[in-house]
Amino acid sequence: MTRLTPSLPTTQNSAWISETIPHMGAAFSLKTTQKLDEIQSPFQNIAIYATEHWGNLMVIDDAFMLTSLENFVYHEMLSHPALFTHPTPKDVVIIGGGDCGTLSEVLKHPGVENVTQIDIDEQVTRMAEKWFPELCARNADPRAELRFDDGIKFMREAADASADIIIVDSTDPIGPGEGLFGAAFIADCYRVLRTGGIMVSQSESPFYHMDVLQNVHRAMLHAGFADRRALLFPQPVYPGGSITCTLARKDANLNSFRTDDALNKTFPTRYYNAGTHQGALTPPEFVREALSII
């Protein structure tokens, strides 16, 4: 569990704040210039800071969530590898993702017909609309439906074979995000996916939370997914400076994707391309070894 610890202010209006990771004896700090906003929702505390070099920072329950500077890496890698792997993604479900950055990336794909996003906390979206409007610019897209509800309940009640892609854009596995890493939820995702369907889930840092990554893969294996890949990519404000998302395909392997479409994509990205996709499919040896024992 992480904890935000304000340090001594460097001036009257600026201070370093740190997210500490006690079990690793580590911390990551950003220099802020002011606190812009804060709200206690029924589910969690959400705070927004202005930083000296990273733009705005969102903090939820003392954990750094995103900054203006580098959130594009996470949002692109959580969406485009799955969408360019599926042959014809039309119906997409996003569980979590209240900042709407992943939603924005999914909606860049012209073949997508419907995107349903379910986040339990409406205040995350309202704060994003206010302080990260660039992430919410596509919220009015007629293909998008934003629901503020329990994603676990939504998936439990969803019809069999009703989605092509399910993206789990969750916070850490504590508080409202805990159940999104559970075996029952992942089994429901498997059931809801159509033939050829793909699930992708935020699966934490292998340097700091290898047990979480292993548990996600174990639950996916037990649910029946035919293939699983942990995609490792940089994320400077997250513990360890990197994070994984895990791709799982219902009934086929993940060795190939629509390379030509990725090479000739009709929209801009800042991190994702066909080369980063291909490279991410081969994890580092320590990750491969840790997952091979499952």
From the list 61, 119, 164, 169, the catalytic residue is 169
pLDDT value at 271 more than 90: yes
Query: What backbone phi and psi angles, to 5 degrees, belong to 289?
Result: -65, -40
Euclidean distance between CA atoms 105 and 271, whole angstroms: 12
Q: Which CATH fold would you assign to the domain 71-292?
A: Rossmann fold (3.40.50)
198 band by pLDDT with thresholds 50, 70 and 90: very high
Helix (H) or strand (E) holding 247: strand 242-249
pTM score, whole prediction = 0.94
pLDDT for position 1: 38
Euclidean distance between CA atoms 159 and 197, whole angstroms: 14
Query: Is 116 in contact with 93 (CB distance < 8 Å)?
Result: yes
Query: Is 273 in contact with 242 (CB distance < 8 Å)?
Result: no
Say which residue the tokens 């090479």 belong to.
263
Mean predicted confidence (pLDDT) in 98-104: 98
Closest CA to 165 of 79, 269, 101: 79
Q: What is the DSSP code string of 149-174?
A: S-HHHHHHHSPTT-EEEEEEE---SS
Cα-based angle 222, 85, 169 (whole degrees, multiple of 5): 60
116 band by pLDDT with thresholds 50, 70 and 90: very high
Q: Read off the amino acid at residue 86.
A: H
Listed by start position, the domains of the chain span 3-67, 71-292
pLDDT for position 174: 66
Phi-psi region of 97 (alpha: psi -120 to 50; beta: other; left: phi over 0): left
Closest CA to 196 of 223, 219, 168, 227: 227
pLDDT value at 82 more than 70: yes
pLDDT value at 192 more than 80: yes
Reply yes or no on whether 169 is catalytic.
yes
pLDDT value at 51 more than 60: yes
Query: Which residues are 234's β-sheet partners?
Result: 242
Mean predicted confidence (pLDDT) in 72-80: 98
pLDDT value at 6 more than 60: no
CATH superfamily of 3-67: Spermidine synthase, tetramerisation domain (2.30.140.10)
Please, what is the average pLDDT of the chain?
94
pLDDT value at 14 more than 80: no
Q: Quick check: do 3-67 and 71-292 share a fold?
A: no
Closest CA to 247 of 289, 196, 285, 294: 196
Euclidean distance between CA atoms 71 and 51, whole angstroms: 14
pLDDT value at 10 more than 60: no
Query: Is 148 in contact with 121 (CB distance < 8 Å)?
Result: yes
pLDDT for position 13: 61
Mean predicted confidence (pLDDT) in 17-26: 94
Cα-based angle 46, 50, 52 (whole degrees, multiple of 5): 140
pLDDT value at 4 more than 50: no
pLDDT for position 180: 85
In the chain, the N- to C-terminal Cα span, in Å, equals: 25
pLDDT value at 7 more than 90: no
